[in-house]
A and B are shown apart, each in its own frame.
Chain A
Amino acid sequence: MNKRKFQDKLIEYIFMLNGVIVVAALIAIFLLLLKNALPAFKEIRVVEFLFSARWNPTSYYEETYGILAMVVSTFMVTIGALVIAIPLGIGTAAYLSDVASPRVREIAKPVVEILAGIPSVVIGFLGIVLVGPAIAKLTGQYNGLNAINGSVLLAIMALPTIVSLSEDALSSVPKVFGEASLALGANPWQTLLRVKIPAASSGILAACMLGMGRAIGETMTVLMATGNAPAMPAALTDSIRTMTATVAIELGEVAYDTTHYYALFAIGLVLFVITFVINMISDIVLQNYKKKTSY
């Protein structure tokens, strides 16, 4: 009997080890990024790194490592993407949860999932051959490799996250909320707008934040479709270069263990921290939401 108990406990620990590895992986990513990023600051001043807009590791005169322009660029395409994806995503989520018949839903949900499964490099490719030229024509530019192109493509990438998580939030609003509203004489549209969406708002907010995290971290689409000019962007029609694209372009060229190499890890660290914070905030928002709606 004792032996059996021991065996049982041992097996539990083996499974627990898997969980521990997952946690350790996250910590390892952070620590390795930190370890490879810190040496950069022996030669680069932190203030310069964060607030200078000049990133030029191959300068004719003196190497400069300022990430401000690429941070601004990253947020510029991300916000552009969210402006497109949030209304579209929430609208679709509301349609799926409140308007569509069960049969339509069975067909429509896989559509969203397939969209989520399209590799980013394919989206980037379409940005070059399809979306870019169309945007060039619409905006009267000669070249469509710019921030608008990036925003449109990132919107496509962020949409599935926003739709499926918002839909989850909407359909987990307790049924009694809707029923009470309908009983009071409101029609389904008013119920959706005034009762359900407000009740699900924190869940929807979390969905949008995760969509934002997705857009910030996306690499291939922006690398291929935004033109990669390292200047501080002034307009949506400017070519921009994001943090992710900079790492993708330059990591291949650096000699290991040089300031430039470390600086790229520092960018990685900044990216990691940004997405981590976004995740944590949406996590907290979601936890509160679950507490509020659990009966």
Chain B
Amino acid sequence: MKKLSILFFLALAILFSSGIASAEMLQIKGSDTLINLVQRLAEVYMQKNPGKEIAITGGGSGTGIAALINKKCDIANASRGMQQKEVASANAVGVNPTRIAVAMDGLSVIVNGNNKVAQLTVDQLGKIFRGEVRNWSELGGANMPITLYGRQSNSGTYVFFMEEVLKGDYSSKMKQMNGNAQIVEAIKADPSGISYVGVGYVKKADGVAVVMVARNANSVYASPLNAADVDNGVYPIARPLNQYVDGTPTGDVKDFLTFELSPEGQAIVEEEGFFPLPKEYQDFNKKAGL
């Protein structure tokens, strides 16, 4: 028993004494769409720059933005833009969010691999997710009720899809999954399911079909898997994936952001299933000094 307690206090002593030599760690928090990409970027960056340390936490875009406002992180990952309300509460506590786009994402609408419905308009998608269209037969598919899957409200994808596609509230029948991958799994198993995920998640997935989407009934149907269509805006629900920092980036934060936007960083972006930044957003980032 004595030995046990000695061991116990020894371990505690080590824990506390090691606390003296603390290094500043870069804190990144937020979007689950971005987390795997940023984690890969950070891994490579840390390999190249020994001594630099980056901690990454998920939880959704809302979580990251809230953390930035609460001064709990250096970089907030956000798969949507900050809302006015959020900017206001940031300013109220002296935080000035600066947006940097790091990659392009074509938000993919997915259905089960056996579903015959292959193309939908943005308007139809809105009706489906608002709960106004409830059977696949209304869309030219089999006669079965539509099962909605989506993300939880802390997800930037949830908010982006709501603002750009639904322009209204989600049906409260929608199952709210914890992450993108859980959605893909659910759609694989559910012939009546429909959902939306970042394009990075469907490139490797089989058993699900990516729906072609058109802006309206008169425009062309495009696939998010086609990089050109995402870049030039033919695909209607594409979005930049953002990182927010407080003020103009400097020091380690700037160093890491520069790496992300470098050709090497953008190559990782493509490896992870997203699209490199088009010119439009490269220019946008220059405003932040990157």
Contact = CB atoms under 8 A, between A and B. Distances in A.
Interface of A: 54, 56-61, 69, 133, 136, 142-143, 145, 223-224, 227-232, 238-239, 241, 249-250, 252-256, 258
Nearest to B149: A143
Contact of B153 (A136, A223, A253): A253
Interface of B: 59-60, 62-63, 65-66, 69-70, 86, 89, 147, 152-154, 158-159, 162-163, 166-169, 171-178, 186, 189-193
A258 B69 CA distance: 12
Contacts, number: 92
B168 A60 contact: yes
Given A253-B153, A254-B66, A143 B173 contact: no
25 contacts: A56-B169, A58-B62, A58-B158, A58-B159, A60-B163, A60-B168, A60-B169, A61-B169, A136-B189, A142-B189, A142-B192, A143-B189, A145-B186, A223-B178, A228-B177, A231-B171, A231-B172, A231-B173, A239-B175, A249-B152, A252-B66, A253-B62, A253-B63, A253-B154, A255-B86
A254 B175 CA distance: 21
A239 B152 CA distance: 13
Contacts of A54: 172
A23 B75 CA distance: 41
Task: From A224, A231, A253, A254, name the one whose CB has the most chain B CB atoms within 10 angstroms.
Answer: A253
A58 B153 contact: yes
B152 A229 contact: no
A60 B62 contact: no
A58 B167 CA distance: 13
Given A61-B168, A252-B60, A253-B66, A143 B153 contact: no
A228 B152 CA distance: 8
A135 to B, nearest CB: 12
Given A253-B60, A253-B154, A255-B89, 7 more contacts: A58-B62, A60-B169, A143-B186, A228-B177, A229-B174, A230-B172, A253-B62
B169 A254 contact: no
B149 to A, nearest CB: 8
Contact of B62 (A69, A143, A228, A254): A254
Nearest to B29: A252
- Which 4 residue pairs across A and B have the least CB separation, nearest first? A253-B62, A253-B154, A142-B190, A231-B172
Contacts of A258: 89
Contact of B59 (A61, A143, A239, A252): A252
A146 to B, nearest CB: 9
